[in-house]
């Protein structure tokens, strides 16, 4: 019994949390891959699409999470630091990358 839980029945479905995280972050990574295809360094789009598909399927989730974090860091560096004088980045972009990296770190721990 969980006295501090308002809905203790929902604790039976704790296996859905990593599934939902995987689905959300895989769609985001695939979206970034499709968006990256039209820009410079479009070789990153291939890595994005493969890692997004593997995360969605749940195949090699922890390894692909590490790869996706590295790809996100490289993409963030290429988009925001190299083109800082050309493109002004909004806070939404920073938050989206930070949220994706946080979800990927969570998937790295939970599998």
19 Cβ neighbours under 8 A, 6+ residues apart: 58
Measured CA to CA, the distance from residue 3 to residue 16 in angstroms comes to 22
pLDDT by 10s per residue, the chain, length 111: 556 778 777 777 778 888 999 999 999 999 988 888 877 777 888 999 999 999 999 899 899 999 999 998 888 887 777 666 555 567 777 888 889 999 999 999 987
> What pTM does this model have?
0.80
Concatenated DSSP letters for 6-25? Answer: S-GGGGGGTTHHHHHHHHHH
101 Cβ neighbours under 8 A, 6+ residues apart: 69, 72, 73
pLDDT for position 32: 87
């Amino acid at each position: 019994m969980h006295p501090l839980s308002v809905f203790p029945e929902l604790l039976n479905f704790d296996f859905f949390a990593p599934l939902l995280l995987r689905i959300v972050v895989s769609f985001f990574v695939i979206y970034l891959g499709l968006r990256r295809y039209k820009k410079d360094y479009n070789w990153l789009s291939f890595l994005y699409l493969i890692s997004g598909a593997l995360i969605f399927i749940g195949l090699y989730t922890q390894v692909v999470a590490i790869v996706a974090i590295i790809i996100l860091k490289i993409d963030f560096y290429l988009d925001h630091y190299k083109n800082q004088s050309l493109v002004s980045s909004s806070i939404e972009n920073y938050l989206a990358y930070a949220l994706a990296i946080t979800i990927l770190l969570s998937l790295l721990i939970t599998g």
